[in-house]
Amino acid sequence: MQTTQAIRCPNCGSHAERNYLASDQQTRTECPVCDYLMITCSLTGKVVEAYAPGIYWGG
């Protein structure tokens, strides 16, 4: 089962998406604007995979 939540990107503040993947016990946060990706273990909170091509300065 997968649950999807609309959120703001923690990197740039744009609209992003957080998916809770119960079958994999993972949480996946993605932003299509700045290409941010963070996959964490839902049980431990440890980072499984992360990608952020740069810090958004808003300028």
* Sequence ranges of the domains in the chain: 2-51
Backbone angles phi, psi at 31, to 5 degrees: -125, 120
| pLDDT band, very low/low/confident/very high, at 1 (cuts 50, 70, 90) | confident
What would the two tokens of residue 14 be?
A: 């744009």
**CA dihedral angle for residue 57, residue 7, residue 45, residue 34, rounded to 10 degrees:** -40
| pTM of this structure | 0.82
| pLDDT reported for residue 53 | 79
Q: Spell out the residues 6+ positions from residue 40 whose beta carbon is closer than 8 angstroms to its own.
A: 26, 27, 46, 47, 48
Q: Spell out the residues 6+ positions from residue 21 whose beta carbon is closer than 8 angstroms to its own.
A: 2, 27, 28, 42
| pLDDT reported for residue 27 | 96
pLDDT tens, position by position, 5-56: 999 999 889 999 999 999 999 999 999 999 999 999 999 999 999 998 766 5
